[in-house]
């Protein structure tokens, strides 16, 4: 299968999803989303475990940022370190924003949970495009992707404030990359880093979504809520990404040599 055909497949899937979403009626935020199974107050902290389980995001985010900034060979990380560093900054802010949200779960505080998470999503997607399609594309789309991601969250928040909540834009920003990334890995494989860590990130994401969906059921069985476990599982994606980035220097010997321009 030629490169052009593969690209057209990605484009076709993207267009189909975008057009489909356009014809779907606006989706408001379900008020029950804010009702979590574990609402215990510990040490004076409301919804304590849902708040404290965000600590790994902050720790792993700081760890990843410091390692990439200080310890990766400069030549190895110069060309792609911006999206990588943005990813880890987003991870730190995700932990802080999610903790803030869970102290008092409302649509207004949920904005600060989703905003940094979207930043990490878009930086990660830019990284994938950079290494699997072309450096030029990854560099060109980084800031537009970040802008679109941030805009999707503010648009959702604005529509909720206006009384006609619309999650469609945000849903596309979150889930379209999750659909495209596995296809990109399969259609445009590269040997410049260990892609198994990207598959691990996708697996962690899906697992986190699964346990979140069974928040109450897991709490009834384990005494720890699915949402709390979700935070811990999702934070491990930062470790997997750090391992993927660290592996690049092993393959490139200090340089990035794209075979796909």
Q: What is the pLDDT of residue 79?
A: 62
Would you say residue 261 has pLDDT above 80?
no
Give percent of the chain above pLDDT 90. 81
Q: How many domains does the chain have?
A: 1
Which domain CATH number covers 168? Answer: 1.20.1070
What is the mean predicted confidence (pLDDT) over 202-210? 97
Residue 258: inside a domain: no
Residue bearing the bigger pLDDT, 71 or 99: 99
- Kindly state whether residue 257 falls inside one of the protein's structural domains: no
* In contact, 246 and 72? CB cutoff 8 Å: yes
Q: Assign 246 a pLDDT band (cuts: 50, 70, 90).
A: confident
pLDDT number for residue 250 = 67
13 is in which domain, residue-wise? Answer: 3-252
For residue 252, CA distances in Å to 45, 172, 187 come to 47, 34, 21
pLDDT class of 253 with cuts at 50, 70, 90: low
* Per-residue confidence (pLDDT) for residue 27, from 0 to 100: 92
Closest CA to 47 of 218, 226, 228: 228
Predicted pLDDT at 73: 59
- Residues 60 and 84: their CA atoms lie apart, in Å, by 13
Q: What is the mean pLDDT of the chain?
A: 91
What pLDDT does residue 257 have?
43
Confidence at residue 69, expressed as pLDDT on a 0 to 100 scale:
86
Q: What is the pLDDT of residue 14?
A: 95
Indicate whether 260 belongs to any domain: no
Inside any domain, residue 100: yes
pLDDT score recorded for residue 85: 94
Write down the pLDDT at residue 201: 97
- Position 245 in a domain: yes
222 pLDDT tier (thresholds 50, 70, 90): very high
């Amino acid at each position: 299968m030629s490169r052009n055909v593969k690209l057209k497949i990605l484009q076709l899937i993207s267009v189909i999803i975008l057009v489909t979403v356009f014809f779907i009626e606006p989706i408001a935020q379900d008020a029950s989303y804010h009702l979590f199974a574990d609402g215990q107050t510990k040490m004076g902290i409301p919804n304590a475990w849902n708040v404290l389980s965000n600590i790994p995001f902050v720790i792993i985010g700081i760890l990843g940022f410091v390692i990439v900034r200080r310890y990766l060979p400069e030549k190895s990380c110069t060309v792609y370190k911006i999206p990588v560093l943005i990813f880890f900054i987003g991870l730190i802010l995700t932990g802080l924003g999610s903790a803030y949200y869970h102290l008092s779960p409302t649509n207004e505080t949920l904005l600060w949970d989703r905003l940094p998470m979207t930043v990490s999503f878009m930086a990660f997607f830019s990284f994938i495009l950079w290494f699997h399609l072309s450096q030029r594309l990854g560099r060109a789309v980084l800031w537009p992707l970040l802008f679109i991601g941030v805009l999707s969250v503010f648009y959702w928040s604005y529509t909720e404030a206006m009384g006609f909540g619309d999650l469609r834009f945000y849903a596309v920003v979150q889930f379209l990359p999750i659909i495209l990334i596995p296809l990109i890995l399969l259609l445009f494989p590269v040997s410049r880093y260990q892609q198994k860590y990207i598959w691990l990130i996708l697996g962690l994401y899906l697992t986190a979504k699964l346990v979140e969906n069974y928040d109450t059921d897991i709490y009834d069985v384990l005494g720890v809520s699915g949402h709390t476990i979700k935070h811990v599982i999702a934070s491990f994606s930062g470790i997997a990404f750090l391992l993927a980035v660290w592996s690049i220097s092993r393959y490139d010997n200090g340089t990035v040599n794209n075979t796909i321009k």
